[in-house]
Amino acid sequence: MPDNAIPAFSVSKTRGKVYSISMKVLIIGSGGREHALAWKLAQSSAVEKIYAAPGNGGTVAEEKTENLSLGGADPVSREGQAALLEFAQKENIALTVVGPEAPLAAGIADRFRAAGLAIVGPGQKAALLETSKVYSKSFMEKYGIRAAKSENFTSLASALAYAEKRAPPLVIKADGLASGKGVVIAADNGEAEETLTRFMKDGELGEAGKSVVIEEYLNGLEVSVLAAVSVGGPDGKKGVIKPFLPARDHKRRFEGGRGPNTGGMGAIAPVPDFTPALHADFLDSILAPTLKGMEAEKMDYRGFIFFGLMIKEGRCHLLEYNARLGDPETQAVLPLMDSDFAGLCRAIVDGTLSDFPIEWKAGAVCAPVLAAGGYPGPVRGGDPITVNRAGLDAAGAKLFVAGARREAGGGLRTSGGRVLAVSALGGNAGDARKKAYEALSFVNFQGMVYRKDIGVEHGEQYHE
């Protein structure tokens, strides 16, 4: 094995019912989340083969896993979805798992289900909970989900007039998907006016910014709760949402929650300050009414969901939904799962999630992200990544690749802004953090940057 091969955690025997044997699985996506999915699915004795479309330099090195290009098929386009569907039918793929949001917004889950294929991901209508901020906020209000107060606008003049009368800071959200650039926290009225003009008049975000949500600013502690969802299957069973361990993402680029927003500079799980009382409040005020709304709206939601929470004055407020697993939260949460992940996915699509036991290992995970210099702005690619595998093994860490490609000789080179996550499992939060930063010292590439405070007590206080 080459020196920069990606080591794995030592894995305890997974639990949970195994639904079939010799499954072929297709994962759609190319980021760190998808690498974590491939790694976790490969642990299942029920999984024979995994195809990652298109995958990355980490997925291709995982056990049982092969990257799949299909001529560069884009899972967002109709042509790309048709190519993936044809492949899944030809290869008798038993299960498809969708990682990112864009293919879900484009209806890939509906297309696969119409062809009789099992796929983990919400239908296009259900994915609106993430893909349309206007729809999402209307859903929260309709079903009494505790959230920040907001107003929706399609007229620039009306939005400007509303913003002028509100005390800053103001949270301005583009309605549609905007590749992480659609949320701005305007510190004053001048920044609010400039942001609204860029979004709604100048068309900086295209159609995504033609309508906007202006939301009150909530200051507190953020928590991410990922969950499995099974609502709207063909058998008409009562829906269920099963939450995972809470996680915390650190989105700002610099220590202490400063600087621009990013896709995530690191995550921890579980969250020490997410108390049993807060968990109970989340179940009552956010999860339960969300499930009620999904069923009332007759959604086909068989997949994963992300609850982005703000904890303020001892109560949970919902900031946003994501219609999939979070990144990099997945890289912190999945190493703690002690159930068969393939079995969990089958339970989601088969309508048996209520009977599936999700169990967790003791301990905690800290997963700082290594990024290319200049991130989240323009970055260069192609820099070789050196990995001291013996050091990583000794630290008990796992590398999850996000933006790196693997060369024919086995080496890794950077190919994106967020390059790697270093996930370390420890006996407690402090132990996990110590191991993660020890392991981080065994990885290097030119221009490598990272935050030094992932997993500090109580995290950050800011509104993403």
Q: What is the pLDDT of residue 178?
A: 82
The predicted structure's pLDDT at residue 19: 46
pLDDT at 377: 93
pLDDT value at 464 more than 60: no
Can you state the percent helix, strand and coil of the chain, rounding each to 5? 30, 30, 40
Residues of the chain with pLDDT > 70, as a percent, come to: 94
d(CA 111, CA 119): 10
N-term to C-term CA, the chain: 41
**HSE-CB for 174 with a 13 A CA cutoff:** 24
Q: How is residue 304 written in tokens?
A: 């994963």
Tokens of 74: 């884009």
Are 104 and 121 in contact by the 8 Å Cβ rule? The answer is: yes
Q: Which residues contact 65 (CB under 8 A, 6 or more apart)?
A: 38, 42, 50, 51, 52, 55, 59
Mean pLDDT of the chain: 92
| The pLDDT value given to residue 77 | 95
- Distances from the Cα of 122 to the Cαs of 24, 68, 289, in angstroms? 21, 23, 18
Distance CA 202, CA 17 (A): 53
Q: Is 402 within 8 Å of 56 (Cβ atoms)?
A: yes
Predicted TM-score of the model (pTM): 0.92
Give the number of residues written for the chain.
464
Where do we find the tokens 């982005």? 308
Q: Exposed, middle or buried, 211 (CB in 10 Å: 0-12/13-18/19+)?
A: buried
What is the tens place of the pLDDT at every residue in 24-53?
A: 999 999 999 999 999 999 999 999 999 999
- The β-bridge relationship of strands 47-54 and 23-29 is parallel
Q: Render pLDDT for 106-143 as a digit per residue (tens, 0 to 9).
A: 999 999 999 999 999 999 999 999 999 999 999 999 99
Instruction: Quote the CA–CA distance of 431 and 55 in Å, as a whole number.
Output: 31
